[in-house]
Amino acid sequence: MEKLIHLALWCCALLLSGAQTSTKVDPQNAVPGPAGGELPSTLRDRWREVESELGRPELDAAQLLALWQQKDRLERSLREWEQLEDLSLLKVRYQKGIDLIKLLYEKVLALDHHFHGMQIYQQVMFLSNPNAYPAFQKTRNLMEENLRKKQSLRLPGILLSNPYLSAAFSLIASFVGDGEIKQRQTEFDEISCILDFTVRMNAELQIIHHETEYLRSANQQLKLECEQLFADYVKVVDYLVDLETCRREDDWENLYQYLDDYVGKLQETITAPDPLLEPSRLRKIGVNLEFATQRVAEFINQYHQFINQGLQYYRKFDNILAHYENESTCHQELPYQFQELQRDIEGTIVKFESTYNLPEIQGSRMKDLLYGILDR
């Protein structure tokens, strides 16, 4: 009942406020907006004080009107503070998203350079073809020479093009050819090692080749997706320069200025004297920024999945090369490309574990992206 009386008095005060101009609001009780620099905690304290004052039964209509007006201004200021606070957090998160896209793009480009710089294709092609081995070539040349001397025959082209048929004939030639037994035994051992390695390892070496090509192609696709993500992300703030150009021309500060200008306009909208239709527009803008940061978070997870997959692949490659069972017996006959391939794969594992793996962007930096942290 008491509240109803106060409400009735307030309504009467609204009707009579024009006539009762002698009662004015204390200037010390004026409510500055967020631009005035007053903290939300102070505004809330004052709002509670006004709310308490409204419960006093001895207040007349003019005093009630002044208090209700003061309460309304306080509530509006608090809403503005909340909206500006939310906008500030969104700005922090959005800028973190730009920084993360920039970082991830550099890593993807480094991976692209890494894959194109590796010599795995050449190494695999060499190691899987017996005709590329000097000892094998030497024995084959001797066989051709013997054929020409004895029968005026040449080694058929099909044998030259097929490494395994060529290897088989070279093995036979080293076994039944001319020369001292000791020399022929040495040649036979060399050819046996080469043939054993190429036959045993051919399928595994082809796995290394094809899966490396798959990783290279997947990284290229990741690069394209990163560029598209950037284009969609910065379109929100009306920045229309593509990622490659922005990086090449070091245009990041200009992009940040676009963000500042965009947020500045939103701040003006929030603090406008009569923002009658603005809440829905502000919500839409907030949803757009929120959605953009979520897409960056999804791309971070996609990048980490690729790095984990690549690490698993290279560990498998390392295991393949480490388990050639006759390596100790045939060590002298294996070409330097075999050790070079092993070193390349071991080095790549280290890079995938350290240089390309970024645990911090799934931890603290992901938290900044999703929630934002304002410096006070």
- Between CA 276 and CA 240 the distance in angstroms is 31
Mean pLDDT across the stretch 99-110? 95
Higher pLDDT, 376 or 93: 93
The identity of residue 374, as a single letter, is: L
Query: In terms of residue numbers, what domain contains 280?
Result: 89-128+201-371
Q: Is residue 282 situated within a structural domain?
A: yes
Q: Exposed, middle or buried by CB within 10 Å (0-12, 13-18, 19+), for 36?
A: exposed
Residue-averaged pLDDT of the chain: 75
Confidence of residue 219 (pLDDT cuts 50, 70, 90): very high
3 state SS of 145: helix
Rounded CA-CA distance 300/322 in Å is 33
Asked if residue 367 lies in contact with residue 295, where contact means CB atoms within 8 angstroms, the answer is: no
- Contact between residue 196 and residue 330 where contact means Cβ atoms under 8 Å apart: yes
* C-beta of residue 255 within 8 angstroms of C-beta of residue 246: yes
Place of tokens 């973190």: 96
Number of domains in the chain: 1
Tell me whether residue 29 is in a domain: no
145 in a structural domain: no
- Alpha-carbon distance 170 to 176, whole Å? 10
Half-sphere exposure of 115 (CA within 13 A, CB side): 22
Distance (Å, whole) CA 200 – CA 197: 5
Domain assignment present for 365: yes
The per-residue pLDDT for 319 is 93
Among 11, 40, 293, 338, smallest CA distance to 194 is for 338
232 part of a folded domain: yes
For residue 166, the model assigns a pLDDT of: 60
Residue 164 domain-assigned (yes or no) = no
Of residues 209 and 120, more confidently modeled:
209
pLDDT confidence band for 81 (50 / 70 / 90): confident
| 331 within domain boundaries | yes
| Residue 289 belongs to some domain of the structure | yes
Of the candidates 32, 78, 24, 27, the residue with the CA atom closest to the CA atom of residue 51: 78
> pLDDT digit string (tens) for 329-364?
777 777 788 888 889 999 999 999 999 998 877 777
